[in-house]
Amino acid sequence: MLRATHFPPIASPTLLVLRKCFIPILSVSSFPSYPLHNLSSFSAFHSFFSPSRPSLPSLSLTQFSPMLGHPHLRLSASFNSESSYGDNREILVQHLLLKEDDEKLLLELQQRIAGGEDLSDLAVEYSICPSKQEGGMLGWVRKGQMVPEFEEAAFCAPLNKVVKCKTNFGWHLLQVLSEREESLLKDIQPVQKCKTPVSLKRLS
């Protein structure tokens, strides 16, 4: 059985841009970080995800007087902790995808899952999604990254309970394995730490 700790998050466009800009990412999540997920195997299923476009943190520089010499800079970061839990929630999802006309197989698989079989094992055997190679694992996702029907079902599903939903791709049996709240880096501003001018030191 595949467990939550074995799988990396799906990187959002925001995180990729921040990493390219060499801005450190600070997280209060209790989960460890993992390497970026390889999405090449999902090319045939690419439109299943609809990337979100959250705003990027801003970086501002202040003017320094020449008389202060070469001041040292340090970065101060503030976090957005005012957003609701639902807005920042990420869920770890696995699923099994069937064709729209495979309702008989869908019912059979639901019965097998109710009898104790694991969704990830059934996904390897029956799913038509490229994610079947990883037991149907889609990784960590948040709102705005999936088609609406799947998103609604996933974010309303109780933890570890297999639920079904229908999208343009067919029938899904999905399972939310874990959830976490992500603190987004809201603002980064340099704070000036000034040196005392040499001329003032001599007068003191």
CA–CA separation, 30 and 140 (whole Å)? 14
Spatial distance between the Cα atoms of 128 and 45, rounded to a whole number of angstroms = 10
- CA 173 from chain center: how many Å? 21
Q: How confident is the model at residue 198 (pLDDT cuts 50, 70, 90)?
A: low
pLDDT tens for residues 56-69? 443 333 343 333 34
Reported pTM? 0.54
Amino acid identity, residue 91? I
What is the dihedral sign for C-alpha 15, 137, 41, 107? negative
User: What pLDDT was estimated at residue 88?
Assistant: 82
Q: Does domain 4-59+78-192 have CATH number 2.40.50.100?
A: no
> What is the rounded average pLDDT of the residues 171-197?
71
192 band by pLDDT with thresholds 50, 70 and 90: low
Q: At what angle do helices 103-114 and 119-126 cross, to 10 degrees?
A: 150
Domain chopping of the chain, boundaries: 4-59+78-192
- CB within 8 A of 79, min separation 6: which ones? 26, 28, 183, 184, 185, 186
Q: Cα separation of 38 and 46, whole Å?
A: 12
What's the rounded mean pLDDT across residues 25-44?
Answer: 40
Q: Where is mean pLDDT largest: 5-9, 37-41, 141-145, 150-154?
A: 150-154
Is the pLDDT at 119 greater than 80? The verdict is: yes
Average pLDDT, the chain: 68
Query: Which is higher by pLDDT, 111 or 45?
Result: 111
The conformation of residue 31, written as its DSSP 8-state character, comes to S
